[in-house]
A = this chain, B = another copy of it.
Amino acid sequence: MMPDQSARLSAQMAFLNEADRLKSVLRATTLVDGSRRENSGEHSWHLALYAIVLADQSAPGVRIDRVIRMLVLHDLVEIDVGDVPIHSANGQAHGSAVTQKAELIAAKRIFGLLPPDLGAEFMALWQEFEAAETADAVFAKALDRVQPVMANLMSGGGTWVEYNVTSDQLDARVGSKIARGAPRLWDWVRERTRSYFDAP
């Protein structure tokens, strides 16, 4: 093998080994059976599966294969920053300027392990996801929001109980993002969250 090919492969493998650490980043959400907290690696896998299965919920023009790629890499920054739960700090920590700055520094370090062409591709996809402006990113964000809702519904409340979340807070923090990317999906889910929150 030519030395530059070997150096390229070494960079690719160093990145893939570093990425393994995402399996040790714990989220607030539990598994569907409530047995333990979910990690961000398996969460990212589940979202890729959501994208394949729920492709028919996306807007016309959404390219599902780009959505899958975004979802596979969207949480890698958490290797350095950790997961910031949506409902923590009364909904104020997730997406805050402080969190965003730390995540950008993490993205530069982690994607910087890759050969430059791949690093630039990953950075662009991650920033597109974070900005949530393109149709692909809007759908990816909707899936990222709906998967924990399903886990909470299945496990008897989950983070809603832990963070004293109300039905209105759920609609504002989560439902709005799901409705934007997958309105029929939110209709279906909201019927079920209302039953949960309205239960005596």
Contacts and interface: CB of A to CB of B under 8 A. Distances in A.
Interface of A: 1, 5-6, 9-10, 12-13, 15-17, 19-24, 31-33, 35, 38-39, 41-42, 44-46, 48-50, 52-54, 57, 65, 68-69, 72-73, 114, 118, 147, 150-151, 154, 184-185, 187-188
A154 B17 contact: yes
Give the residue among A17, A53, A57, A73 with the most B Cβ atoms within 10 A.
A53
A32 B20 contact: yes
Contacts of A52: 69, 72-73
A115 to B, nearest CB: 9
A102 B2 CA distance: 45
Contacts of A12: 53-54
Contacts of A38: 23
A1 B188 contact: yes
Give the residue among A22, A44, A185 with the most B Cβ atoms within 10 A.
A44
A82 to B, nearest CB: 17
Given A9-B184, A53-B118, A150 B32 contact: no
A125 to B, nearest CB: 9
A152 to B, nearest CB: 12
A91 B165 CA distance: 51
Contacts of A39: 42
A150 B16 contact: yes
Given A1-B188, A16-B46, A20-B32, 18 more contacts: A9-B57, A12-B53, A12-B54, A13-B188, A16-B150, A17-B150, A19-B46, A20-B31, A20-B154, A21-B32, A21-B33, A23-B38, A39-B42, A42-B45, A48-B72, A52-B69, A53-B114, A68-B72
